């Protein structure tokens, strides 16, 4: 009988790709979803991608509620905890998002701690932010964001607090050796359907002329298919237990991303920004626009992730960031989101 894997938030961008890869490898997949009415679309998307959905089932569970998680995890041989709240706007209070992020992770871990290997999605933002960073910032699995650094956004604070709480719970509960945490960079690449995730908004806004110029910031990035592959590989390899696996290809500035898009989509080049805003102007604009304020921690720093150890552990070779950018844009065109 095939192993059964619980995938939390199975309707999400990364989770759908992870479910597809698990089904392609012969696993049974039980996906959690807040509203079971979304199951029809998830099944349709996975079937159209070539999956055998006869081995796919669903369980209703919400990260903000206790109900449903014990039932969802019962009988599962492993867990991919990918579901995570992502704010569409940053709140004013820097700790405002912490309770939801931390409590949601604890609900899943408490329900899943008997279910074999657990792979949890975190983020590279839990590694990159602290005072005194150099212009080129090496990022390793041993690095941690300083939660008390004043420039951190509420999202950065919440992801860091949730991951630290997960490791603490694993140590106290005696299952650290069965917990792997995946820390993705900015996730791009193609969605499986027209449900466009928040991380692709960057590409959509650049291609639709939403901004005439860009801040001077750089982001490590990764293709969603590779993020999913790291999750699946971690599930299958016990030696990843107790490790943080950075999922990242290369680092690109917004100017470099815009140049890639302009070259790949010349008919849209007039709308794609080419100018770069000076840092002083970004800081002034941030006073009046909280969305612009979210880039302040990134001004003047180019993170460079060390992922050779991830390839050694998992066998996943990351696609270049350029390919993830172009494939994301092509997908947005295909679903008429741009």
> pLDDT tens across 114-168, in order?
888 999 999 999 999 999 999 999 999 999 999 999 999 999 999 999 999 999 9
Q: What is the pLDDT of residue 69?
A: 96
Catalytically annotated residue among 159, 176, 255, 271: 159
| Vertex 30: Cα angle to 24 and 82 (nearest 5) | 85
- Closest to 8 measured CA to CA, from 75, 72, 56: 72
Q: What is the pLDDT of residue 289?
A: 85
Residue 25 is a catalytic residue: no
Say what the pTM is.
0.95
C-alpha–C-alpha distance, residues 87 and 254, integer Å: 21
- Closest to 85 measured CA to CA, from 67, 108, 74, 101: 101
- Name residue, tokens 């050779």: 308
Q: With beta carbons less than 8 A apart as the criterion, state whether 306 and 246 touch.
A: yes
Q: What is the pLDDT of residue 97?
A: 85
**What is the end-to-end Cα distance of the chain in Å, rounded?**
44
| SS3 of residue 180 by DSSP | strand
Q: Say if strands 244-247 and 213-214 run parallel, antiparallel, or are unpaired.
A: unpaired
Q: What are the strands, taking DSSP E only, across the chain?
A: 4-7, 28-33, 56-60, 78-81, 117-121, 136-139, 179-184, 186-188, 213-214, 218-223, 244-247, 251-253, 275-276, 302-305
- Show the domains of the chain with their CATH numbers: 4-328 (3.40.50.720)
Q: What is the pLDDT of residue 49?
A: 96
DSSP class of 193: S
C-alpha–C-alpha distance, residues 143 and 54, integer Å: 42
Q: pLDDT tens-digit profile of 294-330?
A: 899 999 999 999 999 999 999 999 999 999 999 999 9
- Closest to 149 measured CA to CA, from 119, 129, 178: 129
Q: What is the pLDDT of residue 86?
A: 64
Listed in sequence order, the residues at least 6 apart from 116 whose beta carbon sits closer than 8 Å to its beta carbon are 76, 77, 78, 79, 178
Q: What is the pLDDT of residue 13?
A: 95
Phi, psi at residue 90, to the nearest 5°?
-80, 130
Burial of 91 (0-12, 13-18, 19+ CB in 10 A): middle
C-alpha–C-alpha distance, residues 312 and 236, integer Å: 14
Q: What are the strands, taking DSSP E only, across 47-163?
A: 56-60, 78-81, 117-121, 136-139
Q: With beta carbons less than 8 A apart as the criterion, state whether 120 and 181 touch.
A: yes
C-alpha–C-alpha distance, residues 200 and 49, integer Å: 20
| SS3 of residue 9 by DSSP | coil
Q: What is the pLDDT of residue 320?
A: 97
Residues of the chain with pLDDT under 50: none
């Amino acid at each position: 009988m095939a192993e059964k894997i619980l995938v939390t938030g199975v309707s999400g961008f990364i989770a759908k790709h992870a479910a597809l890869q698990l089904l392609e490898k012969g696993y049974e997949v039980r996906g959690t979803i807040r509203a079971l009415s979304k199951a029809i679309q998830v099944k349709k998307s996975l079937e159209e991608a070539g999956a055998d959905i006869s081995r796919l089932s669903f369980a209703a569970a919400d990260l903000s509620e206790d109900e449903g998680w014990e039932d969802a995890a019962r009988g599962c041989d492993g867990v991919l905890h990918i579901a995570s709240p992502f704010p569409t706007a940053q709140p004013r209070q820097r700790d405002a998002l912490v309770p939801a992020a931390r409590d949601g992770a604890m609900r899943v871990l408490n329900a899943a701690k008997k279910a074999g290997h657990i792979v949890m999605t975190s983020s590279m933002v839990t590694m990159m932010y602290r005072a005194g960073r150099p212009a080129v910032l090496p990022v390793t699995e041993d690095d941690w964001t300083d939660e008390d650094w004043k420039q951190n956004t509420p999202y950065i604070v919440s992801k860091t607090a949730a991951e630290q709480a997960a490791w603490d719970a694993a140590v106290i509960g005696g299952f650290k050796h069965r917990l792997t945490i995946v820390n993705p960079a900015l996730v791009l690449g193609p969605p499986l359907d027209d449900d466009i995730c928040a991380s692709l908004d960057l590409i959509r806004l650049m291609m639709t002329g939403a901004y005439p110029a860009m801040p001077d910031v750089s982001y490590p990035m990764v293709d969603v298919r590779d993020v999913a592959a790291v999750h699946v590989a971690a599930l299958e390899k016990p030696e990843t237990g107790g490790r943080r696996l950075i999922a990242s290809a290369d680092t690109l500035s917004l100017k470099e991303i815009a140049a890639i898009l302009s070259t790949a989509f010349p008919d849209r080049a007039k709308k794609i920004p080419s100018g770069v805003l000076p840092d002083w102007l970004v800081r002034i604009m941030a006073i009046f626009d909280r969305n612009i304020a979210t880039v302040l921690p990134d001004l003047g720093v180019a993170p460079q992730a060390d992922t050779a150890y991830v390839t050694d552990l998992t066998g996943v070779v990351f696609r270049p960031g350029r390919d993830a950018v172009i494939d994301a844009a092509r997908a947005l065109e295909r679903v008429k989101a741009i």
